[in-house]
C-alpha cells in the first residue's frame, strides 16, 4: 500500500501576505498625502483610512498608532531620497567637487518634483517644536546636512562657493532647490511659471549653480 505525503498549500498564506503589503502601502501613500497637506495635528487616522479605501481598524493593526504611522510615512519619503543620494555620491566619486555638488542639487530638485510631500512635511513640522521634528532631523536631515557641509566647506576653500557660514549657504541652496516646488500652485497663479516642467527645472538648476557656486574649479596639477 503506497503512502501519500500531503504537500502543504501555502498559497492562501502568500495571498494574505501580499494583501497585507498592498494595504500597508495604500495606508502609507494616503498618510503621506494627508500629513503633507494638513500636518500631524490636522490629520485623523479615520481620514487616512478613508483616503486609502480601507477599514479604519487596519491602521492600528499595521502601525499601532498615528505617531508610528507618521514616522513610517516620513521614513518612506525621506529614506527614498537618502537612498538615491547615496547612489549618486557613489557613482560620482570621480567627478570634481563642483560637479558632485551640482549633481546633488539636480537630484534634490528632481526628487522634490517627484515627492512634493518632502518639503511640505518639513514645513508642517517646522512650524513648532515637537518630537517628530527632532526624530526627522536626527534620522534623515542631519546625516544629509553633515555630508553636504563638508562638501560646501571644500568648495569655499577652493574659491568655488562664496565665503560665509557654510550651514547658512547650504540651507539657502536647499530651500531654493526644493522650496519653489512646494509653491507650485502659487507660482503658476502669480508668475505663470510651471515649476514642474523639465525645462524650467533645468533652468532653475543652472541658476542655482551659477549663483551659489560661481567660481571655477582650479586646474588640476
Q: Please give the pLDDT value at position 93.
A: 82
pLDDT above 60 for 5: no
Q: Domain ranges in the chain? A: 68-212
Q: How far apart are CA 85 and CA 104, in angstroms?
A: 7
Query: Nine-digit cell at 75?
Result: 521614513
Q: For cell 498592498, what's the residue?
A: 22
Q: Please give the pLDDT value at position 221.
A: 63
Considering the chain, what percentage of its residues have pLDDT values greater than 70?
A: 93
Q: Could you say which architecture CATH assigns to the domain 68-212? A: Orthogonal Bundle (1.10)
More confident residue, 216 or 93: 216
Element (H, E) at 165: none
pLDDT above 60 for 77: yes
User: What is residue 107's DSSP assignment?
Assistant: H
Q: Please give the pLDDT value at position 139.
A: 92
Query: Nine-digit cell at 108?
Result: 534634490
Burial 169-191 (b: 16+ CB within 10 A, else e): bbebbbebbbebbbebeebeeee
What is the rounded average pLDDT of the residues 192-204?
95
Q: How far apart are CA 2 and CA 189, in angstroms?
A: 79
Q: Please give the pLDDT value at position 4.
A: 56
Banded model confidence at residue 1, pLDDT cuts 50, 70, 90: very low
Query: Nine-digit cell at 97?
Result: 567637487
Q: How far apart are CA 43 and CA 126, in angstroms?
A: 16
- What is the model's pTM? 0.84
Q: How far apart are CA 195 and CA 184, in angstroms?
A: 6
pLDDT above 50 for 107: yes
Q: Please give the pLDDT value at position 3.
A: 52
What is the rounded average pLDDT of the residues 82-104?
87
What is the rounded average pLDDT of the residues 195-212?
96
Query: Nine-digit cell at 68?
Result: 508610528
Q: How many CB atoms lie under 10 A from the CB of residue 3?
A: 4
pLDDT above 90 for 106: yes
Q: How far apart are CA 219 and CA 197, in angstroms?
A: 35
Give the alpha-carbon dihedral of 197, 202, 205, 206, to 10 degrees.
-140
pLDDT above 50 for 59: yes
More confident residue, 82 or 14: 82
How distant, in Å, are the alpha carbons of 42, 53, 171, 180 from that of 37? 9, 18, 23, 16
Amino acid at each position: 500500500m503506497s503512502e501519500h505525503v500531503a504537500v502543504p498549500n501555502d498559497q492562501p498564506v502568500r495571498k494574505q501576505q501580499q494583501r497585507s503589503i498592498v494595504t500597508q502601502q495604500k495606508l502609507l501613500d494616503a498618510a503621506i498625502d494627508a500629513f503633507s497637506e494638513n500636518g500631524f495635528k490636522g490629520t485623523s487616522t479615520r481620514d487616512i483610512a478613508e483616503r486609502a479605501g480601507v477599514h479604519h481598524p487596519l491602521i492600528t493593526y499595521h502601525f499601532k498608532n498615528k505617531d508610528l504611522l507618521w514616522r513610517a510615512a516620513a521614513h518612506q519619503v525621506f529614506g527614498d531620497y537618502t537612498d538615491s543620494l547615496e547612489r549618486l555620491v557613489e557613482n560620482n566619486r570621480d567627478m570634481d567637487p563642483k560637479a558632485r555638488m551640482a549633481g546633488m542639487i539636480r537630484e534634490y530638485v528632481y526628487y522634490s518634483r517627484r515627492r512634493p510631500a518632502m518639503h511640505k512635511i518639513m514645513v508642517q513640522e517646522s512650524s513648532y517644536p515637537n518630537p517628530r521634528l527632532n526624530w526627522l532631523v536626527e534620522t534623515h536631515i542631519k546625516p544629509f546636512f553633515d555630508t553636504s557641509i563638508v562638501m560646501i566647506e571644500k568648495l569655499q576653500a577652493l574659491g568655488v562657493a562664496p565665503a560665509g557660514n557654510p550651514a547658512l549657504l547650504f540651507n539657502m541652496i536647499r530651500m531654493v532647490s526644493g522650496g519653489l516646488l512646494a509653491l507650485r500652485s502659487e507660482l503658476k497663479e502669480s508668475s505663470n511659471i510651471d515649476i514642474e516642467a523639465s525645462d524650467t527645472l533645468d533652468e532653475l538648476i543652472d541658476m542655482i549653480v551659477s549663483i551659489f557656486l560661481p567660481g571655477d574649479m582650479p586646474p588640476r596639477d
